[in-house]
Structure 1
């Protein structure tokens, strides 16, 4: 995420962050829950297992506080778990032993597959809990045609962060095709400004041109995720999927990258972007909020657009979907748990989060509004959402993501490996993982 959550070496467990071939039988709402509901009129206490990073802690507390204020007969006890693989193992263990909290925070997307939700979570398909959840979000919290979670926070855009002051100074327009993007870069380079910030010291940042290009892949090859997961489609033999590797090669060949890009870090890249010494940075919008304390102009001076493809009529953006909140099948407080999830996935829940955490992206909740002081990148992302011009990153649609992608993309972006060869290397890289997952077709 992102960069898959847990795979990319960055704070957001996503950064990526996340399911295409998902099966298993459905639960029925009446069968969910390990015991009887709390007697009417009594006080109910819900246990809520959530993450430990500051944004997740603040979001969870804001939701719990606002909910209990509106529902004083329901109390929420929050428990924080560590991040990364340690946190994943805790959740898997507690679900498998029947010791999970009533509700819990976890990734959406393909990582959900490992939790066997049909056996461990309450099926929310058709439930009023989902009334305000945007339809585009439902696939990343679904398996076997059943829905299990609601969005816990805002989405993140993966694409091109750009300095709006540079664009204004040079009279540039946001590009809708790759050719227009290259033309903008030529003008930026002529003005002695770095066109494309490149930070290969933090190798994970090299993946964005490939991962954030998925909207264009899906637009050209709508069944790519399913075919890729089934071993039928490959990056090297799918022209649209090869495009992301070609983008990296173009940037290097045209000399758009900053000097010393091989040793430049993410922090240095973000600083260049905000200060306007670099115009474009292929990156995740969710990384911007921490900059506000030092660079308050981040909120207004940095914008976002999706990685441009070849067809302006099919312009859109790749997004990393929000994490979700789920209900454990073992809960004995099903009615209260559903009431909490309905609040989380409501405009009131979004307002509660906005009051505590400044949003860097839109909510996946119908009727949720961004505040006037939302970051510009969030407003830019909202336009794509309103136009229905988004696609989730591939990691939300397929469980396959090879471990060597960041090394492969560094080599392409450094001019060491041709795009076609790199795509073939990545196809080889994912084989071991696909076989470990026991996927058919591999």
Structure 2
């Protein structure tokens, strides 16, 4: 079994001949009992050992199929996969993006439609399938794998030491941050160097200020805009967190954010449910929990929800039968339960045991009051994407080069160049 971790885009160009010919090794097929080698690509460099475990379990059941794993840095993954597929190569089976990220590859004919190939697709939840469905032809181009929620992690040991309680209002949250700061503890790990982490901040803070599903539905329908005072207020709430972020937070990137909380140097981190497994793997003694970032008043608090990942099959694979066999294993309750127990992830697979991890159970409870990720779900299908617009605008706002109003206007103006409900 071979694991390749590609840590930089430059490495891709050095390995281009390999990358472009990776798909479809010399073996013929699995149906005849001949040996088949599949290329399997992921963007989870931190989970190589986990997927090695998955592959070993699969190969025990299917000794004629060998799976080679390649893990690519997440910020470079889309570019490398797209370039490989365009060149006629790439992986046989791979982690696929959801929503607009899936749409781009489906439109180009690179993804195998799964509607008539995976019998239990009908058993998946509709929100999970939404992230795998083309908005153009209605077909499913990925097997839903994971769902995520965004909320605030907190260090339980620090809370106990400082006598803090889980906040139920925004003022209580700010008060907790202030107490941490006065005691020499970095209150909030988040920074703004990487634009996508600024989008995560919005996903954590925003819903309980802009109005969760009411605003989401209205803005998607074109009945309001991102210059709505409710949305501007949500952005300003993010700005109110600046005094509690690390010094020089505009230079603090994702791994810095993750490391500060994981190594108990920061009391809070606004992030996704995907972080929990990394925290537990790298610091087993870390005692953490989570809460929705609260709004102005106590009561029902929302978290952001989104379909995060789909298992996809290259439409040009030379080993369709073997690829589908591996795909169905990835979508089995066995692997779904491993995702829960080992990575603390929210598996989209029907029939998994959500009681395997208490934290996962808590996240699922929080997700009962959830709203869709506001730029990821509806506004990543055209360019410039809502995500790209907000990430740049949010970075500018946090750096002080844009006001909240200007940041929101930039987002609205950019999306309105193609989004017809905004062109009325």
TMscore range, shorter length: 0.7 to 0.9
The answer as to whether partners of 1:220 and 1:240 remain within 8 angstroms in 2 is no
Match of 1:167 in 2: 159
What's the secondary structure of 1:165's corresponding residue? helix
Shift of 1:381: 2.0
Match of 1:47 in 2: 38
Measured in 2, the distance between the counterparts of 1:270 and 1:129 equals 36
Structure 1 gap segments, 5+ residues each: 1-8, 10-36
- Report the aligned-residue RMSD: 4.1
Instruction: Describe the shift of the 1:226–1:134 C-alpha distance in structure 2 as closer, same or farther (beyond 3 A).
Output: same
1:123 aligned residue (109, 113, 136): 113
Q: Deviating runs (4+, > 6 A) in structure 1?
A: none
Measured in 2, the distance between the counterparts of 1:39 and 1:316 equals 47
Shift of 1:379: 4.7
Asked if 1:382 is matched to 2:364, the reply is: yes
Match of 2:353 in 1: 369
Instruction: Describe the shift of the 1:379–1:240 C-alpha distance in structure 2 as closer, same or farther (beyond 3 A).
Output: farther
What's the secondary structure of 1:147's corresponding residue? coil
Measured in 1, the distance between the counterparts of 2:256 and 2:30 equals 57
Instruction: Describe the shift of the 1:159–1:85 C-alpha distance in structure 2 as closer, same or farther (beyond 3 A).
Output: closer
Instruction: Describe the shift of the 1:225–1:340 C-alpha distance in structure 2 as closer, same or farther (beyond 3 A).
Output: farther
2:410 aligned residue (425, 428, 437): 425
Superposition TM-score, scaled by structure 2 size: 0.72
Q: Equivalent residues in 2 for 1:42-81 (5 A)?
A: 42-43=33-34, 45=36, 47-51=38-42, 53-55=44-46, 57-72=48-63, 74-78=64-68, 80=70
Shift of 1:50: 0.8
Asked if 1:396 is matched to 2:377, the reply is: yes
Q: Equivalent residues in 2 for 1:107-118 (5 A)?
A: 107-117=97-107
- Aligned residue pairs total 387
Measured in 2, the distance between the counterparts of 1:65 and 1:168 equals 42
Instruction: Describe the shift of the 1:71–1:266 C-alpha distance in structure 2 as closer, same or farther (beyond 3 A).
Output: closer
Superposition TM-score, scaled by structure 1 size: 0.70
Structure 2 gap segments, 5+ residues each: 1-7, 9-27
Asked if 1:146 is matched to 2:127, the reply is: no
Match of 1:297 in 2: 285
Q: Equivalent residues in 2 for 1:133-282 (5 A)?
A: 133-144=124-135, 145-152=138-145, 154-185=146-177, 188=180, 193-200=185-192, 205-213=197-205, 215-216=207-208, 217-224=211-218, 226-227=220-221, 233-237=224-228, 239-252=229-242, 255-258=243-246, 261=249, 269-270=257-258, 272-274=260-262, 278-282=266-270
